[in-house]
Structure 1
Amino acid sequence: MAKEKRKSKKKKDKKKGKKNKLGVKNSLVNNINARKKKGKSRSKKKSKISKKAYKKMQKGWKR
């Protein structure tokens, strides 16, 4: 009796970023947009992001 080789089907694991409680990949822009869609946006007064950090982030966006 010959042993049959079993071919195991391996799923290709694509590297995906972990999703947070909003259901989006962790990034500042994704978090802001997800909060907007859910209606949980913060006012500018209660913002957790400094103006300086936000401007620096915008410079990195491709236009």
Structure 2
Amino acid sequence: MAKKAKKPAAKKNKLGVKNSLVNNINARKKKGTSHSKKDSTVSKKDYGKMEKGWDDKDKKD
């Protein structure tokens, strides 16, 4: 019987986490190299949109 091919692991970035904006932010926080609010690379508007998306995911389950 042929072996099933394993699903390749998600690509990880240099911080060692799956590539996504939220994962990158949280990994930098853990590492202690996060940007200050002044140097933030994510606008309040975009972060608000992300948060709205999180709510939708919770409702699907």
TM normalised by structure 2 equals 0.77
Q: Moved runs in structure 1, 4+ residues, more than 2 A?
A: 10-13
The alignment covers a number of residue pairs equal to 56
Note the residue ranges of structure 2 that are not aligned, 5 or more in a row.
none
State percent identity of aligned pairs.
Answer: 70
Give 1 or 2 for the bigger CA radius of gyration. Answer: 1
CA distance in 2, matches of 1:11, 1:37: 36
Q: Where is the helix percentage greater, Structure 1 or Structure 2?
A: 2
**How big is the alpha-carbon RMSD for the aligned residues of Structure 1 and Structure 2?**
1.9
> For 2:32, which of 39, 44, 47 is the aligned residue?
39
